[in-house]
């Protein structure tokens, strides 16, 4: 159950997803104290009503419920090291990034040694969805800590899900992202075929999305595919997506589970990054297929 003091939430990492979470938490009436190494991210956060902190430790001192949204495992362990310097107190850290189970488990252990309960809570949804409070929380870990965070999750997500022991959240995220990767690549392939066949992209989207081939991935990135423009900023950049795909591939490999469709899609995303689309949305994988088909490609 949330306490009066838990109306203040600490948010570490104010990028695409972190900013979106802060926006919705502020709208829900929470006080949000945030930190990011990027001055630009801090400026945007402060302009939206957030309380900017000067360090990770300052965020940790200000709130009992903390959220991290980070780009790399190195960033996670830097945050963990700073949080470990704080006085012992009942803090909960909801870690929402996509990392390996090994990295999350190590962070969980290190924080636990200092009395901080870490939850594994990846988010499902794009940056644009997060802005609209249209993401899911895949929560896992100690149930009492999850229950304490639940009102916070409800403040920035459409539906929080409790999935059991620590690590199950990440496992579910790997499954979901595997499907998103395949769906996104297939959508790019389909639109390349439609263009090659002389079909109108807007009409293709309207008709296909209304039938059996429609998907959430197509709905989220349909307008990009219609316009053949993947520079939208509130989405998942290809460079970051490639990191997530490696995590999925390694996880599946550790279980000796074949992923033939996913394995076929990965080289296309890698080629999109190599072709100069790394800063653009994952749907820019369509540009690789367009080039293979001899079609004009979008700007880089």
Mean pLDDT (whole number) for 6-10: 92
Indicate the average pLDDT of the chain: 95
Domain of residue 176, residue span: 171-292
Share of the chain above pLDDT 70, in %: 98
CATH of the domain at 212: 1.10.1040.10
Q: Is residue 299 part of a domain?
A: no
Average pLDDT over residues 231-242: 83
Q: Is the pLDDT of residue 21 over 90?
A: yes
CA 111/CA 137 separation, integer angstroms? 21
Q: Which of 136, 166, 196 is the last residue of a domain?
A: 166
The answer to whether residue 4 scores a pLDDT higher than 80 is: no
Q: Is the pLDDT of residue 19 over 90?
A: yes
Same domain, 30 and 103: yes
Mean pLDDT of all residues in 113-142: 96
Residue 149 lies in a domain: yes
Residues 114 and 37 in one domain: yes
Q: Do 18 and 52 have their domain in common?
A: yes
**The pLDDT value given to residue 269:** 97
Strand order in 91-95's β-sheet?
Answer: 51-52, 31-35, 8-12, 65-68, 91-95, 116-120
Cα angle for residues 29, 34, 40 (degrees, 5° grid): 115
Domain end: 166, 194, 214, which one?
A: 166
Q: If pLDDT is split at 50, 70 and 90, which confidence band does 300 have?
A: confident
Q: Are residues 190 and 277 in the same domain?
A: yes
Instruction: Note whether 96 and 17 are within 8 A (CB).
Output: yes
pLDDT tens sequence across 132-183 = 999 999 999 999 999 999 999 999 999 999 999 999 999 999 999 999 999 9
209 within 8 A of 219, measured Cβ to Cβ: yes
Tell whether 147 and 187 lie within a shared domain. Answer: no
What CATH number is given to the structural domain containing 78?
Answer: 3.40.50.720
Q: Is the same domain home to 234 and 141?
A: no
Answer with the one of 166, 195, 216 that is the final residue of a domain.
166
Pair (227, 79) in one structural domain: no
Q: Residues 138, 266: one domain?
A: no
Mean pLDDT for the stretch of residues 86-97: 92
Q: In what order do the strands lie in the sheet with 159-162?
A: 123-124, 136-139, 159-162
Residue 235 has pLDDT above 90, yes or no: no
* Cβ-count burial 144-170 (b if 16+ within 10 Å, e if not): ebbebbbbbbbbbbeebbbbeebbbbb
C-alpha 40/C-alpha 112 separation (Å) is: 32
**pLDDT tens per residue across span 253-273:** 999 999 999 999 999 999 999
Burial of 289 (0-12, 13-18, 19+ CB in 10 A): buried
**Residue 297 belongs to a domain:** no
**Same domain (yes/no): 162, 175:** no
Number of domains in the chain: 2
Tokens of 265: 């899609």
In a domain, 300, yes or no: no
pLDDT digits (tens, 9 = 90+) for 203-226: 999 999 999 999 988 999 999 999
CA nearest to 113, candidates 73, 139, 141, 85: 85
Q: What is the dihedral of CA 249, 253, 256, 258, to 10 degrees?
A: 30
Q: What percent of the chain has pLDDT over 90?
A: 91
Residue 233 has pLDDT above 70, yes or no: no
pLDDT at 2: 39
Is 197 among the domain residues? yes
Residue 5 has a pLDDT of 61
Residue 3, pLDDT score:
44
Asked whether residue 99 falls in the same domain as residue 139, the answer is yes
Looking at the structure, tell me whether residues 136 and 188 fall in a common domain: no
pLDDT tens readout for residues 39-89? 999 999 999 999 999 999 999 999 999 999 999 999 999 999 999 999 877
Task: Specify whether 153 is located in the same domain as 182.
Answer: no
Max Cα separation, the chain?
65
Looking at residue 299, what is its pLDDT? 82
Q: For the residues of 67-121, what is the DSSP string, one character each?
A: EE--S-HHHHHHHHHHHTTSPP--EEEEE-S---HHHHHHHHHHHHTTTEEEEE-
What's the confidence (pLDDT) of residue 89? 79
């Amino acid at each position: 159950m949330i306490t009066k003091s838990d109306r203040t939430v600490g948010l570490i990492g104010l990028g695409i997803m972190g900013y979106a979470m802060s926006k919705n938490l502020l709208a829900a009436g929470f006080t949000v104290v945030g930190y990011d190494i990027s001055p630009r991210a801090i400026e945007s956060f402060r302009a939206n009503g957030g309380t900017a902190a000067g360090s990770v430790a300052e965020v940790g001192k200000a709130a009992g419920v903390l959220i991290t949204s980070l780009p790399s495992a190195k960033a996670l362990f830097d945050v963990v090291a700073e949080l470990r310097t704080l006085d012992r107190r009942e803090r909960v850290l909801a870690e929402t990034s996509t990392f390996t189970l090994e990295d999350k488990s190590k962070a969980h252990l290190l924080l636990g040694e200092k009395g901080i309960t870490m939850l594994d809570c990846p988010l499902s949804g794009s940056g644009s969805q997060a802005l609209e409070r249209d993401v899911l929380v895949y929560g896992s870990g100690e149930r009492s800590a999850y229950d304490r965070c639940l009102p916070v999750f409800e403040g920035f997500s459409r539906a929080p899900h409790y999935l059991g022991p620590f690590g199950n959240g990440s496992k579910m995220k790997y499954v979901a992202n595997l499907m998103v990767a395949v769906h996104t690549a297939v959508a790019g392939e389909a639109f390349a075929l439609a263009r090659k066949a002389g079909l109108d992209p807007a009409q293709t989207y309207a008709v296909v999305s209304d039938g059996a081939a429609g998907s959430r991935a197509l709905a989220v990135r349909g307008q990009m595919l219609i316009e053949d423009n993947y520079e939208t900023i509130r989405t998942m950049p290809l460079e970051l997506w490639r990191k997530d795909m490696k995590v999925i591939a390694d996880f599946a490999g550790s279980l000796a589970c074949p992923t033939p469709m996913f394995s076929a899609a990965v080289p296309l995303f890698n080629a999109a990054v190599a072709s100069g689309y790394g800063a653009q949305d994952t749907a820019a994988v369509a540009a690789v297929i367009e080039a293979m088909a001899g079609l004009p490609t979008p700007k880089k």
